[in-house]
Amino acid sequence: MESYSSINFSVLGGGGEVGANCFQLAVNGCRILLDCGTHPKKDGLDCLPSFDLLDRRPDAYFVSHGHVDHCGAIPYLCKQFPSTRGFATIPSARIIDRMLHNSAVVMDMLAKERGIADYPLYDHFDVGHAMRFLEARPFSEPFTFCEGFDAQAEFIHAGHVLGSASILLRFPGHTVLYTGDISRTRQFLMGGCSRLPGKVHVDTLIIESTLGATEEETAGSYNDEVYRFAEAMRRVLHRGGTVLVPSFALGRTQEIANIIAQLQEEGELPFTPIYTVGLGRAVYEIYDKFIEYLHPHSTLRPLSRFERLGNVWDPAVVQNLLRRPSIIVATSGMMTENTPSAMLAQTMVKSSHHGIFFVGYLDPDTLGYKLLHAKPGAALQFELGAPPVNVVLEDIAQYRFSAHASRSDLAAIIDRIHPRNIIYVHGDEDALDWMRSNTGNGATSFVPAVGQTITIEA
Ligand SMILES: [Zn+2]
Ligand SMILES: [Zn+2]
């Protein structure tokens, strides 16, 4: 059995930020990547992790889940280093394939529409190549990953979205746990994260910090929030308006669509049509295939329960749609310009009888955040190349349906695991500051920035 004097951890992205998550772990001769995402707020080559820090092909990469800030750069990595082996859970492998083909389409469109240099960073062929080397593994079954190297990996349920996993890496003499995005509480479809297998002692914990700066004392439970959300939707529908719920395609869309359907079935909401959109529907089909990975008491309605949203880039389609009350669950969750949620909002904000309800995290630089905080009459641009629109609509709110652990849950996860070393990642500056000051008493803590390498004594 080999022994190690030190372990090097390098941040290619996602250090000091919620960015292009990608971390390299170098343990003696073995080099692996944890996640390989694209930065949601950057374009072109800037959205990639700092691959220049890699001096050779990684022995393997692991993907925690299918959100593009964790997997969006895989085909680019595999273009630089062909036939790199990757590992993901069985549902995630399917989701990642779908998300990456979608990214190839979106980048191609952005190259044409906005002339973004370097786009597309990869095409469908590149995605196909990368996916041939992505191996799907079940949860809770240790496997080896590095030829000739005595180390094992294991996926543990992270409770964030379908297929999401924390990654447990057992090197002889040193155990590492990377949480990925994690949730401890039950959502509508997902159960919370699983406990670690018995007798595992984690030496080094790499933990996400998304909600480190979010005070939770004022927030109610997931269920309380469902009923506040229902009340707001009821108000809009009763006055003949349309409800728009901007949602991420993976996770939030499936959760929210089922919450709304349930509210209708319980008589809390009138039976108006519920619309969902392209990628959210494609991911929904994957949820349907892997229903055994959802919480056993959750009910996933058949996709046919939800109407398909038409071409919202056609103003006539939008006008027609807004004529009758309905509820629309549409990407993007943060209302990026030109996406279905932005195209709908562009018309909806001109009237006062509709409602726009955000259900996830809003980055301050996004259109969604600006709309949520807009003063009446403020002018915002929803479609690139189109003039700004004056916002008349006032019924715009945000509800907390987080798929991320709250800060007290993050603290509880750390207490339970009780690691010697903690590396805080995937959070903005305030979140990381709070985490470092308030959690992990007694552990050696690190908040590395992008480009930094830290050395952990084994
Ligand atoms: Zn995520
Ligand atoms: Zn994330």
Tally of residues, the chain: 458
Cα 179 to middle of ligand 2, angstroms: 11
Last residue of a domain, one of 398, 418, 448: 398
Comparison of pLDDT for 288 and 220, the residue scoring more = 288
Q: Which ligand is nearest to the CA of 160?
A: 1
Distance 320 CA to ligand 1 centre (A): 34
**Shortest CA distance to 425 belongs to which of 6, 7, 22, 8?**
22
Amino acid 146: pLDDT: 85
* Same domain (yes/no): 192, 246: no
Chosen domain end from 371, 398, 425? 398
149 and 187 inside one domain: yes
Q: How confident is the model at residue 3 (pLDDT cuts 50, 70, 90)?
A: low
Phi, psi of 453 (to 5 degrees): -120, 130
203 is written with which tokens?
A: 């030496």
Pair 351, 274 in one domain: yes
- What is the whole-number distance in angstroms between the Cα of residue 298 and the centre of ligand 2? 24
Would residue 79 count as lying in a domain? yes
What is the CA(70)–ligand 1 centre distance, in A?
7
Q: Please tell me the distance between residue 20's alpha carbon and the centre of ligand 1 in angstroms.
A: 12
- Give me the percent of the chain exceeding a pLDDT of 90: 87
pLDDT tens, position by position, 332-360 = 999 999 999 999 999 999 999 999 999 98
Verdict on whether the full-model pTM lies above 0.75: yes
Tell how far the Cα of 296 is from the centroid of ligand 2, in angstroms: 25
Residue 64's pLDDT is 98
The answer to whether 191 and 139 are in contact (CB under 8 A) is no
Q: What pLDDT does 440 receive?
A: 93
What CATH number corresponds to the domain at position 189? 3.60.15.10
User: Quick one: 422 and 305 in the same domain?
Assistant: no
Q: Examine the domain organization and report whether 290 and 344 are in the same domain.
A: yes
| pLDDT tens digits, 176-211 | 999 999 999 999 999 999 999 988 999 999 999 999
Confidence of residue 41 (pLDDT cuts 50, 70, 90): confident
- Residue (of 252, 257, 316, 288) closest to 91 by Cα position: 288
Q: Verify that 353 and 415 share a domain, yes or no.
A: no
pLDDT band at 6 (very low <50, low <70, confident <90, very high): confident
- pLDDT given at position 223: 84
Q: What is the CATH number of the domain that holds 262?
A: 3.40.50.10890
Query: Which residue's entry shows tokens 């998300």?
Result: 99
Is the pLDDT assigned to residue 2 strictly greater than 70?
no
Q: pLDDT band for position 29 (50/70/90)?
A: confident
Q: Is residue 359 part of a domain?
A: yes
Per-residue pLDDT, 166: 98
Q: Do 59 and 204 fall within a single domain?
A: yes
1 within some domain: no
3-class SS letters over the chain: CCCCCEEEEEEEECCCCCCCCEEEEEECCEEEEECCCCCCCCCHHHHCCCHHHCCCCCCEEECCCCCHHHHCCHHHHHHHCCCCCEEEEHHHHHHHHHHHHHHHHHHHHHHHHHCCCCCCCCCHHHHHHHHHCEEEECECCCEECCCCCCCEEEEEECCCCCCCEEEEEEECCEEEEECCCCCCCCCCCCCCCCCCCCCCCCCEEEEECCCCCCCCCCCCCHHHHHHHHHHHHHHHHHCCCCEEEECCCCCHHHHHHHHHHHHHHCCCCCCCCEEECHHHHHHHHHHHHCHHHCCCCCCCCCHHHCEECCCCCCHHHHHHHCCCCCEEEECCCCCCCCCHHHHHHHHHCCCCCCEEEECCCCCCCCHHHHHHCCCCCCEECCCCCCCCEECCCCCEEECCCCCCCCHHHHHHHHHHHCCCEEEEECCCHHHHHHHHHHCCCCCEEECCCCCCEEEEEC
- pLDDT exceeds cutoff 60 at 219: no
Task: Report the pLDDT averaged over residues 65-74.
Answer: 98
Say whether both 350 and 290 belong to one domain.
yes
407 and 393 within one domain: no
Number of domains in the chain: 2
Asked whether residue 248 is domain-assigned, the answer is yes
Between the CA of 177 and the centroid of ligand 1 the distance, in Å, is 17
Give the model's pLDDT for residue 348: 98
| Same domain flag for 267 and 332 | yes
Check whether 361 has a pLDDT greater than 60. yes
Among the listed ranges 231-235, 237-241, 358-362, 415-419, which one has the minimum average pLDDT value?
A: 358-362
Domain assignment of residue 307, given as a range: 222-398
Mean pLDDT to the nearest integer, 284-297? 97
Residue 88 token pair: 């993901």
**Each residue's pLDDT tens digit, 365-412:** 899 999 999 999 999 999 988 999 999 999 999 998 889 999 999 999
Has residue 220 got a pLDDT over 70? no
How confident is the model over 20-27, as a mean pLDDT? 96
Report CA(129)–ligand 2 centroid distance (Å).
Answer: 24
Residue in this structure with the two tokens 């349907």, named with its chain if needed:
288
- When pLDDT is cut at 50, 70 and 90, the band that residue 134 belongs to is very high
Same domain membership, residue 447 and residue 322: no
67 CA → ligand 1 middle, Å? 5
358 and 442 inside one domain: no
As a whole-number percent, the residues of the chain with pLDDT over 70 amount to 98
